[in-house]
Amino acid sequence: MLSLEGKVAIVIGGTRGIGAAISRRMVADGASVAIIYLSRSADAESFGQELRSDGATVHLIQADVSDQNALTNAIDEVVSRFGRIDVLVNVAGMAIVGPLDSYADDAFDRIFALNVRAPFIASKIASSVMGAGGRIITIGSIVADRMPGDGGTLYAASKAALGGMTRGLARDLGARGITANLVQPGPIDTERNPADGPNAVANRAPLAIPRHGTADEVAGLVAYLASSEAGFITGSTYNIDGGWSA
């Protein structure tokens, strides 16, 4: 039996990399999926058609979710189309890295708008229409726990904030049977961080399992947290990092 059959899932940032793998897994598990994406419209439409080719119900929405109004309108569109939300997966994020004195004056506002405010607003709106069994899953980063080098102050700070947000959501929503959990990947083989890229060897140095992870491995963990089997798990952080944090 498909574990998400009859459910509606939103994947914010769901057309590339880890997000695309999660969208595929949500579809494979039987969900109708709304995917919110930022750019590359032609690629997004092609991805949507790929998912629909097997009969899946997939709805694409282009929006800059760092803009609160755009994000609100996008989620409202999902509710209008499907009438419900059962699973929210917050994937979209950005990295601004470099020497501390090189950050632009607006760097803090830009990175926190996308990496922290957007998942908070999305969770607030989506949870308002979720019933018992609702799931909120946010994709963070292992650098929230361990920053291995310089240049990542803002990125690490934004990802660390997601842990507190997740624990707060768990307390606020638990009585309604809605769970909230955080997934923190380590080095994952994607377009942004390829296993054969210039930083790959350094990225693998802290690992116990000396390889990049795959986006499908992250999607598998997300699928479990979205399922009914994970109904007693909330406020938790799951590191999928090949032993980076060991």
Catalytic machinery residues: 155
* Both tokens assigned to 81: 């189309």
Instruction: Tell me how far apart the alpha carbons of residues 205 and 75 are, in angstroms, rounded to a whole number.
Output: 40
* Both tokens assigned to 233: 């798990």
Instruction: Tell me how far apart the alpha carbons of residues 11 and 84 are, in angstroms, rounded to a whole number.
Output: 14
Instruction: Tell me how far apart the alpha carbons of residues 94 and 117 are, in angstroms, rounded to a whole number.
Output: 13
Tell me the backbone φ, ψ of residue 136, rounded to 5 degrees: -120, 120
Angle formed at CA 245 by CA 242 and CA 246, multiple of 5 degrees: 85
Contact between 14 and 37 under an 8 Å Cβ cutoff? The reply is yes
Instruction: Tell me how far apart the alpha carbons of residues 226 and 224 are, in angstroms, rounded to a whole number.
Output: 5
* Both tokens assigned to 148: 């291995």
Widest pairwise Cα distance in the chain: 54
Cβ atoms within 10 Å, residue 112 = 16
